[in-house]
Amino acid sequence: MEFKPGMIVKLKVERKADFGFFLTSEKVESEDVLLHKRQVTDPIKVGDTVEVFLFHDHQGRLAATMEKPIVSLGNFDWLEVVSINERDGVFLYNGIDRDLFLSMDDLGPDRALWPKVGDKVPVSLIYDKKGRLMGRLLRGTPIEETAALAPKTILNEEITGTIYSFAEKGVFVMTKEGYIAFLHFNEANEDLHLGKVITGRVTFVRDDGKINISMQPKAHERRHDDADKIYEFLEKREGGMPYTDSSDPIIIKQKFNMSKGAFKRAIGKLLKEGKVYQKDGWTYKKE
């Protein structure tokens, strides 16, 4: 067995130096590993056996720490973003005083979709081409194998989770309960990015225990919100606008950020309530 960064191993304290201790293994032939005094968390002495996490120090040497990492080789967890390098990637806190790098190769070229400082993303450990330890963003199988199966009883319930992956038509979310949720882009009502915590309503529970969610209000609630938006638009424009339920859907989308169907339903609600009337291609607020 060869010692590599990312491993948790038990080593013997071979000798002491002014700046720390040198550790060795009785089972593996390798150079002594430095345990700097900053990395010592409990009193130790020569001859003791200590459990340590291996990593590369700032000079590229294999070093050890008695601090406990959140993620080591062979497992994964959700790590917090502590800093961002817009050119290269982000740095994650892994429980020790050396942050873990997550490359833009994993995050993608669109910086708007990157996690922000304070967000958490699921990662495991890998090596770069030079053998240095770095993070790997997890998607698919590793996440699915640890996910809980959602019961049918949560339909229509509000649920909160963290975005961990982007797909062609939406994003995957890990909920606080451990369920895997899918949010279609059309069902979002705000900007999305990796690591963002969102809240949505469960719209469908699949047979495999995964769920679909929506951030949009229910249809009747949406009509009410859309109607309020249109009425406020009229009030700001002296009570009239050159748009009706016959207007071009592209113009409706540009002006009100809603589909023509939603616009027609909202106008219909206002007409039914007697708040507006239409004449010659215009919609007016009733005084």
Q: Where are the domains of the chain?
A: 8-65, 77-138, 147-214, 219-285
58 CB-near residues (< 8 Å, 6+ apart):
none
Highest-scoring range by mean pLDDT, 4-8, 14-18, 19-23, 89-93? 89-93
The pLDDT tens digits of the residues spanning 114-138 come to: 999 999 999 999 999 888 899 999 9
59 CB-near residues (< 8 Å, 6+ apart):
none
Provide the pLDDT confidence category of residue 1 given band limits of 50, 70 and 90: low
* pTM of this structure: 0.74
% of residues, the chain, pLDDT over 70: 97
Residue 141, amino acid: T
d(CA 52, CA 67): 7
- Whether CATH 1.10.10.10 fits 219-285: yes
The pLDDT tens digits of the residues spanning 155-195 come to: 999 999 999 999 999 999 999 999 999 999 989 989 999 99
DSSP bridge partners of 80: 93, 120
Q: Are 55 and 6 in contact (CB under 8 A)?
A: yes
- Which residue from 155, 173, 154, 157 is spatially nearest to 165, judged by alpha carbons? 173
Count of C-beta atoms within a 10 Å radius of residue 61: 11
Q: At what angle are helices 249-256 and 219-236 packed, to 10 degrees?
A: 80
Query: Are 77-138 and 147-214 in the same CATH fold?
Result: yes
Tokens 């053998």 sit on residue: 131
CATH architecture, domain defined by 8-65: Beta Barrel (2.40)
pLDDT at residue 224, rounded to an integer: 66
- Whether CATH 2.40.50.140 fits 147-214: yes
The whole-chain average pLDDT of the chain stands at 92
pLDDT at residue 219, rounded to an integer: 61
- Which residue from 38, 26, 22, 33 is spatially nearest to 1, judged by alpha carbons? 26
pLDDT at residue 186, rounded to an integer: 87
d(CA 89, CA 104): 4
d(CA 92, CA 105): 15
Please give the CATH superfamily to which domain 77-138 belongs.
Answer: Nucleic acid-binding proteins (2.40.50.140)
Count of C-beta atoms within a 10 Å radius of residue 75: 11
